[in-house]
Each structure stands twice: as C-alpha cells, then as structure tokens.
Amino acid sequence: MFPVALWKVKLGLAGRFRAFGGSMEPVIPSGSRVTIEPVDVERIELGDIVAVKVCDETMLHLVKAIDRDERRIEVSGTSGPANGWTSFDSVYAICTRIEG
C-alpha cells in the first residue's frame, strides 16, 4: 500500500503518501496526503490513526479499543464494523498529518 513511507518510518523518519479508499472518510478523504511517523505503542490512545497490519493487509485505521494487558488494539474505519484485534507488534506508525 505505502511501502516507501513504511520503509522511512522503520528508519526512524517521517513518511508521506497519498491515501486512497473510502474506509476513513470523512476523516481522511480519498487522495489526501498523509504523514506517518514512528510510534511508541505504549502511548497509543483511543481515536489515534495508525498504520497497522491486520491479517495480510497494512492499512490506516482508527484505534477503537486498547487491551494493554494483552498488548493489542482493535481497529476500524470511520464507519462499519471493526476490522479486528491486532498485536502491538503489528502497529507500524501513527498518522500525524492529513492534507487535502
């Protein structure tokens, strides 16, 4: 989905890319330029937008629930059902800016 941006984040840098799709509208309109940065998973809060791997997909989604004891979060788009739970190890970045 956004391999160059994720590669930059793994190097400790900010990554930028255009996000396409409707799952995060109206918060992130399709085609918006977003910035993602490295994240300290211990500081994730409800409502944060994170780059996360769920099953075989990496996506930007909202943090809907946090289970700190099990070290996992539940994510979803802005409408519809949750996409499911994923471990802290599958959280790659946090969205820090949305343009467009």
What domains are defined for the chain?
3-99 (2.10.109.10)
pLDDT digits (tens, 9 = 90+) for 46-72: 999 999 998 888 999 999 999 999 999
In this predicted structure, what is the pLDDT of residue 30? 95
Contact call for residues 16 and 5 (beta carbons, < 8 A): yes
**What's residue 63's pLDDT?**
97
Helix, strand or coil for residue 6?
helix
